[in-house]
Structure 1
Amino acid sequence: MVKLTEYTSFADAQAHANSAALWELFDGDKDYLNIANECMTRHADGSGRTAVRIAHADGSDEILAFDELAAKSAQFAHWLVEKGIKPGDRIAFMLEPSLPFYTSLFGAMMMGAISVPLFTLFGLDGLRLRVDDCQPSLLVTNDEKFDIASRVDGLNTVVANDSLLEEISGYPTTFAAKTKATDLAVFQYTSGTTRELPAAVKHTHKSLVTLMFAALYGTGIRPKDQFFCPSSPAWGHGLWHGTLAPLAMGVTTGTFAGRFDAERLMQALQDYKITNMSAAATHYRMMRNSGAADKFNFSIEKLSFTGEPCDTATLEFIDKTFHVPACSMYGTTEIGVVLVNFPGADDYQVKPGSLGKPIPGLKLEVQRADGTPTEPEEVGELMLWKRDHWETTKDLAKVDAQGYLYHCGRADDVIISAGWTMSAVEIENTMLKHDDVQEVAIIGVPDEARGQVVKGFVVTGRAASDEFVKELQTFTRERLAQHEFPRHIEFVSELPKTPAGKVHRKILRDREAAKAVAAGN
């Protein structure tokens, strides 16, 4: 039987992609499947083949083999069992990509616990919210974040350093995974939420199978690729598309650790001879803005991006620099990837600005408020047919005569900045904890580098000053995440309100849009 990984064309995707064909890519079946086994153990053949390349911000490279990661993950799984961790317990980890990160991620899933990746830039409030929600039996972190973690009441924390690796080294290097395909494997937090207390999206082990449609047709991964994804594996794109999908295929993947630097990324792309990269649109913008792309030689054959639309100047930079089209893919942590551009398919035309077409087998439709489908080029709400009914994606879109879909904005108050999804409500609630903030409204405003940035309108009895602005920004960053704060703050005497007394953010957005037009932007 020909496997889906052997097909590359758009026509073949339409003809052969189905659920049964996906299951042929795995060792497990619909009854028993384990993500750690599929991504690690079955590829550990003693050859020393590279699983992950990590480009550290300090210029160093960390190369990890399937053999080493499978052995360490098994040792960690045995260690967890001896510590009293049971299947279904949550193991959280707040680590940069590293040997301890992958050991924790796969070791927990290997023994049936649930892995909960957390962003390394979370402050105390951001960490506490998620810990209160998922109730982990253990948090694995580093020395730098241990102080913050120790301030969360009742949180059992261990530092993932050389001592921990030495401690687990005495355990067996194999572990018999026995999870059912329907057992929970990962709690994945979105990069933003409309609730002060965020709920995790809960993924089972068999979610890995469904993911492969996005891997095959959204990022275009095939067995011979040298893959790279600079997105943090604490978020959906970096974890599922940058880590689990390629490793499940036995494909060497790469990632970035530490403070992002565009030149360091391009150095890694050159040194690792990367042929396929999937990144956030902002990564491409930052490479363009660095002005350093001409210093490097690339081997890129396929590119994809997600998180937000890519501006025209950046798309032109990609064409000039890499000589391949940038393929958008669209989805959310909740629904997965649903629109793709089939990277590597010679018989598929990539239309700049388009989200692409549905993954084979999925049904999407742009609808009016009354539920009827829109005409070509008419803006409506993008809906997904799921479990015998239409579900909203909370995004506005339009479709052209050829069936390509285009993003037309958010249908709610979520802000996407540099690929991060942030909630206006969550940022407002955090800023309102400041003693001098009486009222606050948060919106997204256009930004050339990040697509959007957060702007806050603050009502206060305190005198406005640059020092006060910085104080509010620091206050917010320390409680949510380093990227989650208002880059612009305007002090106002009052906020526009709806008749029900709610803040009317649309009025603020319209005012900012009018200012941009008047300024010629």
Structure 2
Amino acid sequence: MAKLTDYRSYADAQAHATSAALWDLFDGDREDLNIAHECITRHADGSGRAAVRIAHAANGDDGGRDEILSFDAIAAGAARFAHWLDAEGIQPGERIAFMLEPSLPFYVCLFGAMQTGAISVPLFTLFGPDALRLRVDDCKPTILITNAEKAELARSMDGPRVIVADDALLADLARFPASYSPKTKANDLAVFQYTSGTTRELPEAVKHSHRALVTLMFAALYGTGIRPGDEFFCPSSPAWGHGLWHGTLAPLGLGVTTGTFAGRFDPVRLMQALEAYGITNMSAAATHYRMMKNSGRAADFAFHFDKLSYTGEPIDPATLEFIDAHFKVPACSMYGTTEIGVVLVNYPGAQDFRVKPGSLGKAVPGQKLEVQRPDGSACDPGEIGELMLWRRDRWETTKDRAKIDADGYFYHCGRADDVIISAGWTMSAVEIENTLLKHEAVLECAVIGVPDDKRGQVVKAFIILNRDGSDALVRELQDFTREKLAQHEFPRIVEFVTDLPKTPAGKVHRKILRDREAAKAVELAN
């Protein structure tokens, strides 16, 4: 009997993609399901087949090493880690956080914790103390696992027991059996996933159950186009939603070898890996494609792509032209968020689906979206409104503005809130403002996103000081923010001002600042 992975066309997706058909892809059912079993254990057949290829960043004279982890090795390590957690008295529902680059310890922790019924919490390795503390305070992990470099930072957090993922830990795990029987039900929680930014002062984890793996497969099949036989790669960090769900769990759940990047991102190192691994299907952030274009080195490599996808933000026309010229297949946008999942896709690999440059595509099978006016009525083609998703028997906002064309394709028309998307990272204006306000020189501040050719947007801060400004103080404020939050999360542009526009309620009026910057851009262009 045919499975959804046997179909390639858009017409087949509309005809055959049902919830029941998704469950046919897995060993588990609506009652009993475990992500670690579906992604790793059931594919560990003793053959040594590759599960994850890791392209490590260049380091000094080292041009960057390749690391290949097999299903067998990850399955054995995850089982031993699960037994270790049991021996440590960890109970189902407790949170196990890990702040690690892609590596054997990362995947052992991720899948081992989920087998016991504990909840895996991946954390970004470049978090500073404030960003890490917010998330630790929110999820309250029993154990926080990290590397030796980050151990001191981790120990400064109140609460969790800190474990260093080193040779001593691996030696300790070796005394446990290399097999484990999972303890979970399909509806048990498996992962706490933090977004890369939030409109809230305190980030709240999106809580995913084991059955989320099943619903994820609509995005995998039709957003990234994954099928058995693909050589897949996703350079996004698995600490974030795209890298974890679309770059790790989705391909592994189908038994597809995936690839990832560890260390400081380098577009040339990425292209080396794409050529060396014979990658046929890549899903990346828009900024990854821009950085490959800007490197000027793409012509040095041979590519083997059949399918490409991207997420996080639109791709500019010059980068789309670069993709067409060097990769020879269309880049397919997919749209969604950590909270709602992927809902608009371009069906990579479907020969009967026309990919329109700049379009978000059409709905994933089973999803219903509409662009609406403020009164809730549907917008006409070409009319900009709010993008709404039909869920739980009602329309829910995506907090984005959009339009559709006469053929039913959706187009993104900007954010409806104050979230800033820069180089694929989603950042909170409020979180950056609150960090800047901790600096002794800052009296008031406001943060917005402004257009940037390379990153789509960059963060700009308007700051009222209690002393004279200087270039040195700009650098100090930037370093202060990135050390407190994350290496990518700081104002690249700083303007010292004497006042800020306010609403009648006394809140900073960011829209006025955005409008001013837009007017400046128009004036400069003319």
1:170 offset after TM fit, Å? 1.1
Spell out, residue by residue over 1:254-300, the C-alpha distance to the aligned partner (whole angstroms, 9 max, x if none).
Answer: 00000000000000000000000000000000000000000000111
- Alignment correspondent of 2:56: 56
Counterpart Cα distance in 1 of 2:267 and 2:166: 28
The one of 384, 393, 401 equivalent to 1:379 is 384
Deviant stretches of 4+, over 4 Å: none
- Equivalent of 2:308, from 281, 303, 314? 303
Cα distance between partner residues in 1 of 2:384 and 2:505: 28
Alignment of 1:47-196 (within 5 A): 47-58=47-58, 59-196=64-201
1:236 aligns with 2:203: no
- Tell whether the 8 Å contact from 2:101 to 2:125 is kept in structure 1 after alignment: yes
User: Can you give the 5+ residue segments of structure 1 that lack an aligned partner in the other structure?
Assistant: none
Determine helix, strand or coil for the equivalent of 1:402. coil
Matched residue count: 521
* Deviation digits for residues 308-348 of structure 1 (CA, Å, limit 9, x no counterpart): 00000000000000100000000000000000000000000
- Post-superposition offset of 1:147: 1.1
**Aligned positions of 1:253-268 closer than 5 A:** 253-268=258-273
Between the aligned partners of 1:371 and 1:141, the Cα distance in structure 2 is: 48
Greater CA deviation, 154-163 or 129-138? Answer: 154-163
Moved more, 475-484 or 333-342: 475-484
Residues 110-149 of structure 1, C-alpha deviation per residue, up to 9 Å, x if partnerless?
1111000000000011111000000001001001111111
Cα displacement string for residues 62-92 of structure 1 (whole angstroms, at most 9, x for unaligned residues)? 1000001000000000001101111110000
User: Aligned partners of 2:201 and 2:80: how far apart in 1?
Assistant: 37
Of 251, 254, 261, which aligns to 1:249? Answer: 254
Report the secondary structure of 1:122's partner residue. coil
Q: Is the 8 A contact 1:439 1:460 kept in 2?
A: yes
Number of the residue aligned with 1:219: 224
Amino acid at match of 1:450: R
- Checking the alignment, whether the CA contact within 8 Å between 1:218 and 1:329 is kept in structure 2 is yes
Aligned AA for 2:348?
P
- Whole-angstrom distance in 2 between the partners of 1:258 and 1:4: 35
Contact 1:473 1:486 in 2 (8 A): yes
Query: Deviations for 1:414-450, whole angstroms, at most 9, x for unmatched residues?
Result: 0000000001011101111111100000000011110
CA distance, structure 2, for counterparts of residue 208 and residue 151 of structure 1: 34
For 1:462 and 1:186, locate their aligned partners in 2 and report how far apart those are by CA, in whole Å.
46
Whether the aligned pair in 1 keeps the contact of 2:140 and 2:159 (CA below 8 Å) is: no
Task: State the Cα deviation string for residues 441-485 of structure 1 (Å, max 9, x = none).
Answer: 000001111000000000012111111001111111111111111
CA separation in 1, counterparts of 2:106 and 2:193?
15
What is the identity, as a one-letter code, of the residue corresponding to 2:39? C
Per-residue CA distance 1:144-198 (angstroms, 9 max, x = gap)? 1111111112221000011111110110000001200000000000000111211
The amino acid of 1:294's aligned partner reads A
Match of 1:25 in 2: 25
Whole-Å Cα distance in 1 between the matches of residues 268 and 171 of structure 2? Answer: 35
Mapped to 2, the partners of 1:331 and 1:474 lie a distance apart of 31
What is residue 44 of structure 1 aligned with on the other side?
A: 44
CA distance in 1, matches of 2:525, 2:56: 40
**SS in structure 2 of the partner of residue 152 of structure 1:** coil
* SS in structure 1 of the partner of residue 224 of structure 2: coil
* Secondary structure at 1:468 match in 2: helix
CA distance in 2, matches of 1:414, 1:18: 34
CA contact (8 A) 1:328 1:341 kept: yes
2:371 and 2:147 mapped to 1: Cα distance? Answer: 46
Q: Judge conservation of contact 1:32–1:178 (CA < 8 Å) in 2.
A: no
1:431 matched residue in structure 2? 436
Match of 1:352 among 335, 357, 361: 357
Whole-Å separation in 2 of the counterparts to 1:500 and 1:174: 60
Match of 1:4 in 2: 4
- Structure-2 separation of matches of 1:500 and 1:78: 56
Q: Specify which of 418, 421, 427 is matched with residue 426 of structure 2.
A: 421
For residues 34-83 of structure 1, the C-alpha deviation after alignment (integer angstroms, 9 at most, x for no partner) is 00000000000011100000000021011000001000000000001101
Counterpart residue identity of residue 254, structure 2: M
Write the distance in 1 (CA, Å) between the matches of 2:293 and 2:208. 35
Question: 1:56 touches 1:62 (CA, 8 Å); kept in 2?
Answer: yes
In structure 2, the partner of 1:209 is 214
In structure 2, stretches of 5+ residues that fail to align are 59-63
8 Å contact 1:89–1:113 — kept in the other structure?
yes
**Distance of 1:338 and 1:153 partners within structure 2:** 38
Q: Distance in 1 between matches of 2:477 and 2:89?
A: 43
Report what 1:325 is aligned to.
Answer: 330
One-letter amino acid matched to 1:491: F
Equivalent pairs: percent with the same residue?
74
**Which residue does the alignment assign to 1:279?**
284
Contact 1:445/1:455 (8 A) holds in 2: yes
Aligned match of 2:61: none
Task: Provide the C-alpha distance between the structure 2 equivalents of 1:53 and 1:8, rounded to a whole number of angstroms.
Answer: 26
Q: How far off its partner does 1:514 sit?
A: 1.1
Q: TM-score, normalization: structure 2?
A: 0.99
User: Conserved in 1, the CA contact under 8 Å of 2:336 and 2:343?
Assistant: yes
| Secondary structure, aligned partner of 1:513 | helix
Q: Which residue of 2 aligns with 1:343?
A: 348
Counterpart-to-counterpart distance in 1, 2:149 and 2:238: 18
Does the 8 Å CA contact 2:235/2:261 hold for their aligned counterparts? yes
Please give the secondary structure, in 2, of the residue aligned with 1:218.
Answer: helix
Q: Which residue in the other structure is 2:445 paired with? A: 440
- Residues 1:500 and 2:505 aligned together: yes
Tell me the distance in 2 between the aligned counterparts of 1:489 and 1:443: 11
